Structure 1
Amino acid sequence: MVHRFIHLLLLPVVSGTLLVLSFPTYDLDFLAWIALVPLLIAIREKPWKTAFGQGWLAGLVFFVGTLSWVINAMHQYGQIPLPVSFLIMLLLAGYCALFVALFAAILVALTDARGLLRPWTAAALWVTLEWLRGHLFSGFPWALLGYSQYHALSVIQIADVTGVYGISFLLVLVNALVARLAEVLGSRVWRGAQPVPVPWVTVVVAAALFAFVVDYGYWRLDPRNNPANEHSLHIGLVQPNVDQAQKWDVALRRQTIDRYKKLTAQVVQEVDLVVWPEAATPFFFDAETDYREEMLRFVRERGVPLLFGSPAMDSRTDGGQRLLNSAYLVSGTGMVLDRYDKVHLVPFGEYVPLKPILFFLNKLVVGLGDFVPGSGPRVMSGPSGHLGLVICFEVIFPDLVRQFVDQGADYMVTITNDAWFGRTSAPYQHFAMVVFRAVENRVPFARAANTGISGFIDAEGHILRTTDLFVESALSGEVRIGGTRTIYTAYGDLFTVGCAILTLLVAARSWRQGAFKGAFKGDYVRRPESPPSEPNYPF
């Protein structure tokens, strides 16, 4: 009974817990290299339905731990009752956990002729499912496994080829190999157990791959191997720390504007561009003439370009109004040069999907109404080159950021309002993803956040300067421009396509052998008493 409990429930819970500890704010990133081992051991020789349940349990623990901040956003700022907020978080975590469940269920169906897990298949399958999670139903690629390694710069440099998914692949490969070696050890410790062969080919190839990735990382991090930067740009970031509950209070509008002016004055003398966060203006910049002119006059007096977020209202063809989450670039002479409208909106934050059914969630939509997406990514002509801008949630989508750089962005700016998250792990998780966007495309990032974390990240992923959470701050930093175009920028998620193809090929082979069909019929084939004559299939 105890043994059954450990294998059925405890090991998946341990995996989920180790995954949580791998991410911010715990940041025990080394645990990610073994976090899946308990789950992989638990699903060994299990029917697919059992493996599905075990995978879902591990995923639920993982995503409840990493998405618990949803409760704070829903309850404190959305005014949703605490029990309902908790239920919404559970629903989101349960949905994300389905991808871990599918990983476990499909993996047991793709075991080799001995009933042993295939490390390469496990890694490819995991990446394929992570990519699907980032695209289905508008996508939610939060807490991808690779993000746990944002501090391990020598490991993550390969992301300029594979994207963050390559790091996830390497992590799962190591986890699966450790689990496989645990099977080898167990077969030699327990009496009567059928000896499991050491997968020497897999061990050698995986070790060589890991060595290559780390060696490539050190090579990329060596300044001698990076192209000389053409020039640099000094950017000032303003973090006003405006309370979310007071942000749209008309009575506090003057106080908010004056706070921005005060903080801007602290950095404006030493920078080429000032950046305010998402939805910085407590008014519609295009619509409210008096405040608009005051801002433009302030910029003219300082003589430095300003990039800031503001809601915008456009007319529709039917005579109605379109609400957009926008950002404006103003020249040092006070001329509005450009406007970018956010493309990828936050479900239940900026719009309510299936609104006729989910009408009770209207309170979550920023107190202004439903936003509509912009027309698409495009770069601005900013100081010292082309500027790419992503707003808040958009930075978690690798391919979206890639499109900006592919269009010619020399440097990236991301503006956000993470006040919704409160003092939770979310601001740290959100910031960690920016590290990968910088490495993937070899472009520096400047990040301005209302309540933090604001800061600078260079093209190799070094976190240069940051602010604390929930403090007023004005931060300046140097952004070096002139990197090389990466394989990831040019070709996008080609690596994930390869992973999907590998998964399908292994599935097709298993189908022909009858193992895949048998697993899903409940006829799980266990390891035979004597080793088969055919060579062990390494993938």
Structure 2
Amino acid sequence: MNYILPIFSGILTGLAMPGNLFSFLIWFSVAPFLYSFSKSKGTFERLLKVFLYAYSLMFTTLWWEIPVLSKNIPEVINSFPGYIGILSFLLMILILTIPYYIIWLLGELYFRKSRVINLKSLVLFSTFSYASAEILKQFGDLAFTGGNLSDALYLHTGLLQILPFTGTIGLSILILIVNSILAFTREKRKYAIVIIGIIYLINFTIAEKLPFVKTNDNAMKVSVFQTNVPQEVKYSDNTWSSYVEISNYLQENNDNTDLLILPEAVFIRDIRDTEIFRIIQEAVKLSEKNWIIGFPTVDLEKKEYYNSAIYLNKNGEIEKIYNKIKLMPFAEFLPYENIFKIFSFFKLVNYYTQGNEYTVLDNKFSVQICFETYFPEVSRNFVKNGAQFLIAITNDGWFSHKTALIQHFSKSVFRAAENRRTFVQVSNTGITGVIDKYGRIVDTLPIKTYASQNYYIPLETKQTIYNKYANVIIVLILFLAIIFSLI
């Protein structure tokens, strides 16, 4: 029973994640782990319980990666057999447990022999030690913020209004406080149920009172294009086949909009010196609008490859290029090469060089690429540089299950609410949609369809408290985690 509780707790928490089962589970799913961890009899037992909880959590959250790694990618790029993908998934989950060991380390400080444990100190320790683990998940070459407790509440619009002040970590702390009360106050657990009821009442009340977002005179009218090009076509050697898949829309798109947004990796090679690109430039001129289109670019002098978003003005000229800053480990770059060299077969096309500029386009908006929505700092830096609304382009065609698409899209919800910016996500297969500055999902296109839509996007200029002081909040939480482990 000692080790069943952490596994059960991790599975239950994973089932609360977007696209899995019920978000309501998050209010009590962590409690069994916190209780079991507090009852551990020694260092090894605490360490093993953290491992079992974190592994079962991440496995249950990311189960959809199994068909991606064992079937979808091997069938397209044909570089490794399916069973290698399954083994790699198991190792990936192992790596993703690393940040959670801060709970164990802090636990060694807290559960020392001289410690006098009381309810208040136990709740504060449990809350902030776990919160510190979610903070650490943002940093390093293996960083990944999937499976954060706050993810479960991406549709709880009223509660999302804490994000402009604290970011998602504030939401996670609220969840942890409720779970801690459930874990450590058996005779008073009825109060936790009351607290959850009050939280849901607050969520509903705030969501109902949020104002309608008006489009002002400076709003931009944008077109989004969900291309739905199969990965088999995109990653073939024939670049023309990708163009043929989207050419009808490009020729017929005569809507009176300011900007057309296409997904990441419309082409998987640099097409700037090709006939296809010259045809696209002519299409841009005829459309009389600016375009954003994603494809890799190459710096021939430096022999460097980038995953890029290209901004074409109405004359068909390349005005700016944004190079992706947060690259996907193993697929887009090889982290800690001396350790992980044997996993280079996961490279999709090329290893990319990290970009270094948070580019604002047309002094109004910025584009982030795919995986970057998992990192709050990317959106924050764009807003600090003057972005008045945010765009993400992504290539989610690898994912067979809708759960993966929902988990990815949920991150855009958080980035919108944190920064009080409208967020537009454009994917080749979905989810393509618009989220307003309060984190409300305004509209989404049907997934895995060839579709387009026009939207009016309001412009915002104010910065949130979180946007200005996120680094202070991060340091404060890590400091409190240490303090509550010692006192």
Structure 1 residue aligned with 2:60:
65
Higher mean Cα deviation, 73-82 or 169-178? 73-82
Out of 20, 30, 33, the position equivalent to 2:14 is 20
Structure 2 residue aligned with 1:141:
145
Conserved 8 A contact 1:20-1:65: yes
Instruction: Write the letter of the residue equivalent to 1:426.
Output: A
Q: Quote how far apart the aligned CAs of 1:402 are.
A: 0.3
Out of 237, 242, 245, the position equivalent to 2:232 is 245
Out of 276, 283, 289, the position equivalent to 1:291 is 276
Higher mean Cα deviation, 47-56 or 437-446? 47-56
- What's the secondary structure of 1:421's corresponding residue? coil
Conserved 8 A contact 2:142-2:335: no
Structure 2 residue aligned with 1:256:
242
Q: Given the superposition, is the C-alpha separation of residues 340 and 292 from structure 1 closer, same or farther in structure 2, using an over 3 Å criterion?
A: same
Structure 2 residue aligned with 1:131:
135
Q: Which has the larger radius of gyration?
A: 1
Q: Quote how far apart the aligned CAs of 1:281 are.
A: 2.8
Structure 2 residue aligned with 1:192:
none
Q: Given the superposition, is the C-alpha separation of residues 185 and 330 from structure 1 closer, same or farther in structure 2, using an over 3 Å criterion?
A: closer
Structure 1 residue aligned with 2:467:
489
Q: Deviations over 1:32-55 (max 9, x none)?
A: 111111112222331232122122
Q: Quote how far apart the aligned CAs of 1:374 are.
A: 1.2
Q: Quote how far apart the aligned CAs of 1:143 are.
A: 1.9
Cα distance in 1 for residues equivalent to 2:145 and 2:200 = 27
- What's the secondary structure of 1:35's corresponding residue? coil
The count of residues paired between Structure 1 and Structure 2 equals: 477
The reply to whether residue 349 of structure 1 matches residue 334 of structure 2 is no
Q: Quote how far apart the aligned CAs of 1:30 are.
A: 1.2
The reply to whether residue 77 of structure 1 matches residue 64 of structure 2 is no
Conserved 8 A contact 1:264-1:274: no
- What's the secondary structure of 2:458's corresponding residue? strand
Cα distance in 2 for residues equivalent to 1:390 and 1:213 = 35
Q: Given the superposition, is the C-alpha separation of residues 155 and 435 from structure 1 closer, same or farther in structure 2, using an over 3 Å criterion?
A: same
Q: Deviations over 1:49-83 (max 9, x none)?
A: 21221221121111111122333333321443233
TM alignment of 1:229-378, pairs within 5 A: 229=216, 231-251=218-238, 253-264=239-250, 268-288=254-274, 290-316=275-301, 320-355=302-337, 358-367=340-349, 369-378=350-359
TM-score (norm 2): 0.90
Cα distance in 2 for residues equivalent to 1:154 and 1:470 = 30
Conserved 8 A contact 2:125-2:485: no
Out of 190, 196, 211, the position equivalent to 1:223 is 211
The reply to whether residue 429 of structure 1 matches residue 433 of structure 2 is no
Q: Quote how far apart the aligned CAs of 1:104 are.
A: 5.2
Cα distance in 2 for residues equivalent to 1:250 and 1:380 = 32
Percent identity between the two aligned chains: 24
The reply to whether residue 151 of structure 1 matches residue 136 of structure 2 is no
Instruction: Write the letter of the residue equivalent to 1:328.
Output: I
Q: Given the superposition, is the C-alpha separation of residues 459 and 213 from structure 1 closer, same or farther in structure 2, using an over 3 Å criterion?
A: farther
- What's the secondary structure of 2:382's corresponding residue? helix
- What's the secondary structure of 1:311's corresponding residue? strand
Structure 1, gaps ≥5 residues long? 187-197, 510-539
Conserved 8 A contact 1:119-1:176: yes
Conserved 8 A contact 1:52-1:104: yes
Higher mean Cα deviation, 490-499 or 356-365? 356-365
Q: Deviations over 1:114-172 (max 9, x none)?
A: 46562222222112111112103352122211111100011111111111111111111
Cα distance in 1 for residues equivalent to 2:108 and 2:180 = 12
Q: Quote how far apart the aligned CAs of 1:424 are.
A: 5.1
Cα distance in 1 for residues equivalent to 2:281 and 2:98 = 50
Q: Quote how far apart the aligned CAs of 1:464 are.
A: 1.2
Cα distance in 2 for residues equivalent to 1:397 and 1:233 = 26
Q: Given the superposition, is the C-alpha separation of residues 213 and 147 from structure 1 closer, same or farther in structure 2, using an over 3 Å criterion?
A: farther
TM-score (norm 1): 0.81
Q: Given the superposition, is the C-alpha separation of residues 334 and 500 from structure 1 closer, same or farther in structure 2, using an over 3 Å criterion?
A: same
Conserved 8 A contact 2:160-2:438: no
Instruction: Write the letter of the residue equivalent to 2:73.
Output: Y
Q: Quote how far apart the aligned CAs of 1:212 are.
A: 12
Instruction: Write the letter of the residue equivalent to 1:91.
Output: L
Q: Quote how far apart the aligned CAs of 1:352 are.
A: 2.1
